Amino acid sequence: MFPTSRLRAALLGAGLVACVAAAAQAQQPPATFRNPLRPEGPDPWVIWHGGFYYYTHTTGHNITLWKAHALSAVAQAPAAVVWTPPATGPNSAEIWAPELHRLDGKWYLYYTATDKANAGDATRYVFVLENAAADPTTGTWTDRGKVNTARPGLDGSVFEQDGQRYFVYSAYVGNQSVLAIAPMTSPWALASDKEVIIARPTFDWEKGGGRQILEGPEFLQGQQGQLLVVYSASTCWDDKYCLGMLTARKGSNPLVPASWVKTPNPVFGPSAENKVWGTGHNCFTKSPDGREDWIVYHAKTAADGKCAGRSSRMQRFTWNPDGTPYFGVPVSILQPQPRPSGE
């Protein structure tokens, strides 16, 4: 080979390597992300299963799931409308707060709804759908009807402790919304005669927006074996909407109201400095490698006294020495955050 040919080959080879390296670098996802996860996203819910995150939130008129390998990229995930309410009946309107759970080898969607013909709190209940498919964005969803809670209410969730499954929800009692728990006899039925109220609105920060409301309860296992229920306080239109927490010591009975101790101050709330308002209705998840804990919640950027404008967001949280969570301050939508470990 002539020297000029060798030089030309070397240059071509170097150029090819550079192009391949540049292409590989271009395919690497960014190291950070920014909130919001989705620009619309009241009452977000996430579950990790089989290498995917399944995400949902309140649309008001159906139940939609998004499936993604990376939760920070859920905005790019395809949407799957898995259920649309009937035209009439007890679950025909105001479809709120869907939660997707994997129980006994099947998928269950718990959601809040009311009757279009007589909409309102008096006819608002939690309902459940069942799906035997491996992937909840496929298959057939069977209507299992209304969860037989002792009272009207909303925002039902499920947790298991010491082999017993429990249902926790926000129950309407007079002009208040309280938190109640009942043992479950199946994924769609409760021993409702054993339902107990475990918390009522008692602090001023639980009475904002002209209503006394505890809602959106979510179970979290403490680092020292505690049972924790993190809930949203006040109305969604209250700019100071925030998260409170109940704690039950390890080994205590969730059905004994005295087991639960309320933290006297919010554990997560709005930040005027970061322009984050209406922080609430959260859920919890792990990073794909299981090393990090993340809180997913909704918030808005305007302190306008409205429910509208809530977007879904997430940030990593850590743990206090006593085994309770430390959520910190809600981050600004302008602040880059490291992507969850393992994404």
Choosing from 43, 99, 218, 343, which is the catalytic residue? 43
Q: Can you read off the two tokens belonging to residue 326? A: 């430390």
CA dihedral (217, 246, 209, 272) in degrees, to 10, reads -100
Q: What's the whole-model pTM score? A: 0.92
Residue 30 lies in a domain: no
Choosing from 115, 195, 206, 215, which is the catalytic residue? 215
Residue 8 lies in a domain: no
Residue 3 lies in a domain: no
As to burial, measured by CB atoms within 10 angstroms (0-12 exposed, 13-18 middle, 19+ buried), residue 245 is: buried
**How confident is residue 3, by pLDDT bands cut at 50, 70 and 90?**
very low
Q: What is the pLDDT of residue 53?
A: 99
* pLDDT tens, position by position, 199-230: 999 999 999 999 999 999 999 999 999 999 99
Q: What is the domain extent for residue 292? A: 40-338
**Is the C-alpha dihedral spanning 296, 300, 303, 304 positive or negative?**
negative
Residue 295 lies in a domain: yes
Mean pLDDT estimate for the chain: 94
CA gap 272, 191 in Å, rounded: 44
Annotated catalytic residue 115? no
* pLDDT tens, position by position, 20-48: 444 444 467 689 999 999 999 999 999 99
* pLDDT tens, position by position, 141-194: 999 999 999 999 999 999 999 999 999 999 999 989 999 999 999 999 999 999
Residue 149 lies in a domain: yes
* pLDDT tens, position by position, 88-123: 999 999 999 999 999 999 999 999 999 999 999 999
Q: Is residue 315 within 8 Å of 330, Cβ to Cβ?
A: yes
Kindly report the CA angle at 295 between 147 and 286, in degrees rounded to 5? 90
Q: Is residue 192 within 8 Å of 149, Cβ to Cβ?
A: yes
Mean pLDDT across 279-306: 98
Residue 7 lies in a domain: no
Residue 130 lies in a domain: yes
Annotated catalytic residue 104? no
Q: What is the pLDDT of residue 27?
A: 62
Q: What is the pLDDT of residue 22?
A: 45
What is the number of structural domains in the chain?
A: 1
Residue 123 lies in a domain: yes
Q: Can you read off the two tokens belonging to residue 99? A: 């939660």
Q: What is the pLDDT of residue 30?
A: 84
Question: For residue 294, what is the domain's CATH number?
Answer: 2.115.10.20
Q: Is residue 38 within 8 Å of 312, Cβ to Cβ?
A: yes
